[in-house]
Amino acid sequence: MRKIIFCFLVMFNSHIHASECVILLHGLARSSDSMNKMESALSSEGYSIVNHDYASRKNTIQVLAAEEIPAALSKCKSDEKINFITHSLGGIVLRQYLSTHSIENLGRTVMLGPPNKGSQVADKLKNVPGYKLINGPAGMQLGTDIESVPFKLGCADFEVGIIAGTKSINLILSTMLPNPDDGKVSVENTKLEGMADHITIPVSHPFIMKDARAINQAIFFLKNGKFDKGAEKTTTSGLGETENSGLNQV
């Protein structure tokens, strides 16, 4: 009897979020591989996952939004609630799409290190030879001036929580940013009018999507619509990767 009850509980837990799909959108010049740890953690919570890979350096933000968001949505079931977890550019691509489209059954969104008010790094480097080659058309649109895409997108009219990093491993880029920052985006510029919640974590921009604390907070927000402000350390088993251990990962 004890074994039957145990099996029932395991089966119930694996389907507790079966009606919810989480779409993962990676950042600029990254791939879906960068979201693998997030994907694994969400899968263990019973969510269905779409870890969407897209050519982030190929097109403008407008084209990426028009092409990639519908492609990702098509991989979720029609009756599922749709949630998003985005890293960096992925959040701006989603905002661009939502500025002209609605998503049926849209649930909650978590943005990791999003340049919601643009980044001063893009302001200072966009005219440097090679910058466009490395970052593509979308990278040229992430500045802070009135012509930047983030500047034009307005406030959030969807439920979104934002996680910002406060640690930098790129001290040169950090000199271009107001402190605190994550080496690519200042904490202040991650904020978005209309956001449901905001939290900071001592992690740098390239590693925030792999950080155990960020992963735990993202899952907490999906479940509760707010972050766990009382959490001082991660408790999720197997997610203890540090920045030093992942320097060569995508």
Give average pLDDT by consecutive 10-residue segment, the chain, 250 residues: 46 56 97 97 96 96 98 95 98 97 96 98 92 94 94 95 96 93 97 98 97 98 96 44 35
Structure tokens at 139: 């990278």
In tens, the pLDDT along 48-103 reads 999 999 999 999 999 999 999 999 999 999 899 999 999 999 999 999 999 999 99
Closest to 87 in 3D by CA, of 224, 200, 205: 205
Task: Record the pTM.
Answer: 0.86
* Alpha carbons 208 and 205: distance in angstroms, whole number: 6
* DSSP symbol at 108: E
Question: Is the peptide bond between 180 and the residue preceding it cis, with omega within 30 degrees of 0?
Answer: yes
Q: What is the pLDDT of residue 232?
A: 59
Rounded Cα–Cα distance for residues 174 and 184 (Å): 7
d(CA 228, CA 246): 25
Task: Give the model's pLDDT for residue 243.
Answer: 45
pLDDT of amino acid 239 = 40
Distances (CA, A) of 41 to 57, 115, 133: 27, 25, 34
Nearest to 173 by CA among 165, 184, 164, 163: 184
Structural domains of the chain sorted by starting position, each given as residue range(s) with its CATH number in brackets: 19-229 (3.40.50.1820)
Task: Give the largest CA-CA distance in the chain.
Answer: 69
